[in-house]
Structure 1
């Protein structure tokens, strides 16, 4: 059914000049959608339904005629033809709209000019932003929804309208929630709690862990948000400087906001990582607050990003694999199949993902351990109730701490920093030192 709707209107037919009659971009889905949009618009504007459907049909007819003309002039599909691209699409519906709305000829021409200008701007935004890769080496599947989110949060930084198109988050947290906590007299205490960062040490025991990796240690840090408040980077450095892990994995969310400059966050991450010198390097994945543009500056200081990729760690002839996926929550860039390519079926693997949300799909690839964050353990927990907001549709046991799904072990970190407001109640910020052990017992030890 999906393929039927995506069938080109001209069904691949060619004109006498050997060029497509219309082109593959003009699909049954698009034509039907345009007609239905006309009908819906009529209902919204309290116009007769027949008028809306007629306007939609005439607009689509103008669009198809325009494509026919462009093919005859040698224009390729998607190639811009300023003014002409929108003229017929806007002019033909005036046959119905002008007499129906009792608009004068001058008024009709004015409406046409407004439509052409608006539609031209929209077409440029669609073709140059939503349907175009923002830079060379772009790694995500090109989808309009993803590109809009990237443009909104990452590629309009420095533009005057940048705060405006992201205003809802600022209003909710900085205006509403901040006022609530201050009004309750809890804001200062919450900020103090947010700086109470600790190292949580865990053991995970696996019968199939390669012998050379018995007692292997991994430092896992998720939801760093190192620009969330003054002093958090210094507190984090105090916690990690004494640690000597074999490997470090960063779980994403490097800046506090999902929009705005990330320069401070990058500098603070570099300062923090200067205190971490794992023998087998630092690996990282992206979170929903992150931009692909962050990858390059962190690669320069030795961080290896696993964006739907994996890496093998070798010791004394034994191997384990670290797999990582792109953000599954907001940008929906994760691809587990790509992440596990080349990992042997019986190979010992650890999956790093920003959120626990893909645990069911991940289990199908049989990782031994799934490391994630994103939930902040709720960040604010109510006594006797626990976390209220988690931003993850998973069983509550997966909101924080150790869990198991089938044979796959998992750990969801409460994160290092804070998101939204720089406060915590009922849960501490953390870095996690994980020790892998070879044995038969399930992991039960957890020490503060």
Structure 2
């Protein structure tokens, strides 16, 4: 009887530990984007992408997450939406992270569907802006380094009322610079391709929530079952899409074989 009880307790402990690791162990995925369109001054430029925090917590006051971002040595930090969760909205939990990472590098942000769903999106943007985050709402910035320029465009989530192609058009993206687009939704990849975007950073898919080893994600918002865009780099023509698996959870409260992820994109001139 005692042996059976011990065995049951060991199984329970294993399962608790297994699910804890699946949802709390921070990983870093590194990708290199190589192009002759990238100016030599931006060769080696590191973009750290944070996506879909969904009010998850990594250490006291987000210290573990902030440390992981700092260790990646970013030249720029981008947040591709859903930094909060509309179902358990706790903005301060996200601001704890923001207060730390704005001291590391310039931070840029675009909305996700959950910010819009709170009906508090203006205050969220205001709080981020007050802390030094550059909120991009269908607009383009030129980033200068060593006298050379790349273009950074950010578009709102479509819940704000416009389709991706219209928002990109409104952003006045230049045609003669290497362009990085921040856009929450990967399922709109065709619109990014049609707009001539060089590389798009997206999230939203949560890695497919449950990942099946060797097959990929099981389900993603906007894509349904066995979605195409859940993680990694996707290419169509000259356009590339980098999809973050994200950090937190929303309606489905558990990840499986899908560790929380920070993405590091390194630009390489060729």
Q: What range is the shorter-chain TM-score in?
A: 0.7 to 0.9
Which structure: larger Rg? Answer: 1
The aligned residue for residue 287 of structure 1 is 112
Q: Deviations over 1:45-88 (max 9, x none)?
A: xxxxxxxxxxxxxxxxxxxxxxxxxxxxxxxxxxxxxxxxxxxx
Q: 1:237 Cα shift?
A: 2.3
Q: Distance in 2 between matches of 1:292 and 1:336?
A: 21
Q: Distance in 1 between matches of 2:63 and 2:146?
A: 37
Preserved CA contact (<8 Å) 2:87 2:250: no
The aligned residue for residue 249 of structure 2 is 418
Preserved CA contact (<8 Å) 1:285 1:354: yes
Correspondent of 1:263 among 77, 91, 95: 91
Preserved CA contact (<8 Å) 2:107 2:133: yes
TM-score (norm 1): 0.51
Q: Is 1:336 the equivalent of 2:188?
A: no
SS of the aligned residue for 1:431 comes to strand
Q: Distance in 1 between matches of 2:57 and 2:46?
A: 29
The structure richer in strand per residue is 2
Q: Distance in 2 between matches of 1:383 and 1:366?
A: 33
Q: Deviations over 1:280-317 (max 9, x none)?
A: x2111000111232000110111001110111101122
Q: Distance in 2 between matches of 1:398 and 1:382?
A: 14
Q: Is 1:369 the equivalent of 2:199?
A: yes
Q: Where does the alignment leave 5 or more consecutive residues of structure 1 unmatched?
A: 1-182, 440-448
Preserved CA contact (<8 Å) 1:191 1:424: no
Q: Deviations over 1:379-422 (max 9, x none)?
A: 21234553221113399442211110121011001012222344
Q: Is 1:273 the equivalent of 2:101?
A: yes
The structure richer in helix per residue is 1
Q: Is 1:386 the equivalent of 2:213?
A: no
The aligned residue for residue 398 of structure 1 is 229
Q: Distance in 2 between matches of 1:238 and 1:277?
A: 10
Q: Distance in 1 between matches of 2:56 and 2:74?
A: 26
The aligned residue for residue 50 of structure 2 is 221
Structure with the larger RCO, 1 or 2 (CA within 8 Å, 6+ apart): 2
Compute the RMSD of aligned alpha carbons.
Answer: 2.4
The aligned residue for residue 209 of structure 1 is 38
SS of the aligned residue for 1:289 comes to helix
The aligned residue for residue 352 of structure 1 is 182
Correspondent of 1:196 among 18, 21, 25: 25
Q: 1:260 Cα shift?
A: 5.0
Q: 1:429 Cα shift?
A: 0.9
Preserved CA contact (<8 Å) 1:283 1:305: yes
Q: 1:273 Cα shift?
A: 1.9
Preserved CA contact (<8 Å) 1:191 1:423: no
The aligned residue for residue 322 of structure 1 is 152
Q: 1:325 Cα shift?
A: 0.5
Q: 1:231 Cα shift?
A: 3.3
TM-score (norm 2): 0.83
The aligned residue for residue 432 of structure 1 is 263
Pair 1:423–1:268, CA change in 2 (3 A): farther
The aligned residue for residue 70 of structure 1 is none
Q: 1:206 Cα shift?
A: 0.5
SS of the aligned residue for 2:156 comes to coil
The aligned residue for residue 141 of structure 2 is 311
Q: 1:250 Cα shift?
A: 0.7
